[in-house]
Structure 1
Amino acid sequence: MQTRDSHLGLNLSAGFASVAVALVLVGLKLWALASTGALSVAASLADNVMDLLVSSAGLGAILYAARPADDDHAFGHSSIEDIASLGQAVLVSVSAFVIAGAASLRLISANPPALAAEGEGIVVMLVSVVLTGALVLWQSRVAARTGNKVVAADRLHYLGDLFPTLGAILALWLSARFGWSQVDSVIAILAAAYMLRGAAGIGLDAFHALMDRSASPEVLAELAEIAANHPGVLGFHDLKTRTAGSKLFVNLHVELDGAQSLDAAHAIAAALKARMTEAFPRSEIIIHQDVWRG
């Protein structure tokens, strides 16, 4: 059985790998953009800059969220993930609008600039695909072993990055083969729209978490089922949840037989908490014991 320290080590390895890959890709695509002048490359570069910010924030969030609760933060530090995500969503949105605006101006221009060095640009984009694919494979392995939602979310983000990268490869190839340089602007606009869609999802999730929105109906239903079927629990009420980053907070009142001993009642509540924690490892669960009134 893996320990909490081993899980933290794996999560950190995924975080550091994510930051390292993002740094390499930003450097490569800066060179590719300067060489080709392709806006599709600029879109892919902007996405990688966002990746670097997201990955750095994710790495910081893994470290900060791992800190235990203290006097000033009685419920831990996992809300830092939501704060970082909200800021990242704003940055992604601004970049997407800038790219879409520049692409639109190039589309309506009577003399749009021609692309250059398409072959070198394609090589850079292919290297990006290989590096991103390798990172996703490692993140998949770590997420499967540790269940860390930050790593899992970062993995999904990098999977999404393959779209603008492959789009840039297509735009550069069409420009080199047929001279269709305007395709570059179209793909850049599509990539910007994709970035906006992702930013909206990230920002909305972070906003809901910061507003203490309840967990999903599926999570609530599973918690209710566990409580209803637990031995010794005669009823339950006031099931309340909220999320903070990748952490789930649960508050529940269970109704127990008042004739049993305090030790027996405590054992039932402790066993129920253990079952819920097993189902939702990243959770903080508080169970109140009430007397069943029939």
Structure 2
Amino acid sequence: MQSEKESVALSSILASAGMAIAKGIIGVSSGSLAILSEAGHSLIDCGAAIMTYVAVRVSGKPADEEHHYGHGKVESVSALGETALLFLLSGIVIWEAVMRLINHEPHSVVANYWGFGVIIASIIIDYYRARALTRTAKATQSQALEADALHFSSDMWSSGAVLIGLVGVWFGFGWADSAAALVVAVLVCVAGWRLGHRTIMTLTDTAPEGAAETITHIVRAVPGVVAVEQVRARDAGDRTFVDVTVAVNRALPLERVAEIKAAVTAAVAANMPRTEASVTTDPVAIDDETIVDRIMVIARNRGLAVHHVTVHSLQDKTAISLDLEVDGKLTLAEAHDIADALEEAIAGELGDKVEVETHIEPLQPGDLSGREALPERVVAVEAALKELAAADKALRNIHDVRVRETDDGEIVNFHCHADPGMTVLAVHEKVDGLERALKEHSSLIKRVIGHAEPMR
């Protein structure tokens, strides 16, 4: 794609240089201001084409430490320079044409076959160059090539005006050449205005027309996006850079939020090629957020671990109880301060008619060094588990018993089977009861973790 841009820009240099030379020779020999203005127009086109070629090569460079968004704006700077050249040429041509009309000098113009030939050839070349440049500019979203295409397109129409002027001179209307030159100047001014307006809009980061609405529609369809809060877009060369802020459920884990951001980026890229999206998430409370969700968010934002959150809706208030895990090495006073702060935050979130009770318990140690217990110890623990479970008969087939010895005591893990029709609450109570019974059975055991499976 980059090589195609450079190739079409290089061919524009050769075409505009050839036409400038031919028009200049014919313009001087015939004395036609219109042809001379066209020669100047083509000469400026040649300079503009050189600027375009350089801009296209520079804009193709990747982003670096100094240009985080790439070098695409170089094309806009080039287009702005071409605009200035167009207005400069127009001013010179208008001045000379008006002077000739005022001083009645059009009789010095000679219309000959060479003049007709070079103008007709120019129209044909301009037509095909404008088509090639426009096609490549659309395919690559290159502002510099679009500006070059506009140059050749304006050349085609202005050459048509010159041709009409030469016809007038041919039939004896000497003033037709200066009038044609004025038409050329006006057309060049119009082309310069259109190009300059678009270029300035890009350099001032004006949002591409319709981009915000299109991006909003795309992002809203991404699962997990609650709302699209802000969309900002700007062009830089053949790239469009987009900043999107989306609202997401504040109760979601960070991994899910990261997945939503990635999905938004992928959706924008899939629907709008050459677009680079930067996504920011704003956590918000959704309408169906439960009280438990809100409590978990408060605790998570404070870096606290809570579980067994229970909510009771009473006649005139809401009663909340929860287990709060803190570092077991903290003093009771320090742990109580943490619990008080959490309770105040919950009351502030849910209102005055809330009663919060916190049960403080120590965090389980996360990284204990230990060793596997001797086989006979594992057999003894498994026998104790089976004996205790047999008394209730709700939990059966005790298996995969593992015993690890640590400096704080033994940690026991086991699996068991239960009736698949039992509720999770009922199974949890049975497993919890068996865990407590085993700890009471042996003072060596520090912790017991049971895993219940449905009986097949």
Same fold by TM-score, threshold 0.5 exceeded?
yes
CA deviations on 1:149-204 (whole Å, 9 max, x unpaired) are 4434432332222111111112112212x111211111111111111122222223
Letter in 1 for 2:169: S
> Aligned partners of 1:189, 1:173: CA distance in 2, in Å?
16
Query: Helix, strand or coil: the match of 2:244?
Result: strand
Identity of aligned residues (%): 23
> Aligned partners of 2:109, 2:169: CA distance in 1, in Å?
7
Tell me if structure 1 keeps the 8 A contact 2:154–2:188.
no
Aligned to 1:256: 248
- Give ranges in structure 1 of 5+ residues lacking alignment: 1-6
Which of 23, 27, 37 aligns to 1:29? It is 23
- RMSD between superposed Cα atoms in Å: 2.2
Higher mean displacement: 277-286 or 16-25: 277-286
Tell me if structure 2 keeps the 8 A contact 1:26–1:45.
yes
Structure showing greater radius of gyration is 2
Task: Decide which structure has greater helix share.
Answer: 1
> Aligned partners of 2:258, 2:56: CA distance in 1, in Å?
33
Tell me if structure 2 keeps the 8 A contact 1:273–1:287.
yes
> Aligned partners of 2:117, 2:104: CA distance in 1, in Å?
30
Q: CA deviation at 1:244?
A: 3.0
TM-score with structure 1 setting the length:
0.88
Query: Helix, strand or coil: the match of 2:165?
Result: helix
Matched, 1:183 2:176: yes
> Aligned partners of 1:271, 1:148: CA distance in 2, in Å?
28
Matched, 1:289 2:281: yes
- Give ranges in structure 2 of 5+ residues lacking alignment: 287-456
Q: CA deviation at 1:135?
A: 1.9
Query: Helix, strand or coil: the match of 1:212?
Result: coil
TM-score with structure 2 setting the length:
0.58
Change (3 A) 1:281 1:54: farther
Task: Decide which structure has greater strand share.
Answer: 2
CA deviations on 1:226-282 (whole Å, 9 max, x unpaired) are 122233221122212223344322111112234444444333322322332344333
Aligned to 1:238: 230
Which of 255, 260, 271 aligns to 2:263? It is 271
Tell me if structure 2 keeps the 8 A contact 1:89–1:203.
yes
Which of 42, 55, 61 aligns to 2:55? It is 61
> Aligned partners of 1:158, 1:262: CA distance in 2, in Å?
54
- Tell me which of the two structures has the higher relative contact order, counting C-alpha pairs closer than 8 angstroms and 6 or more residues apart: 1
Higher mean displacement: 253-262 or 235-244: 253-262
> Aligned partners of 2:42, 2:273: CA distance in 1, in Å?
31
Query: Helix, strand or coil: the match of 2:26?
Result: helix
Tell me the matched-pair count. 286
| 1:1-294 map, 5 Å | 7-143=1-137, 145-176=139-170, 178-216=171-209, 218-294=210-286
Letter in 2 for 1:215: P
Query: Helix, strand or coil: the match of 2:281?
Result: strand
Tell me if structure 2 keeps the 8 A contact 1:118–1:175.
no
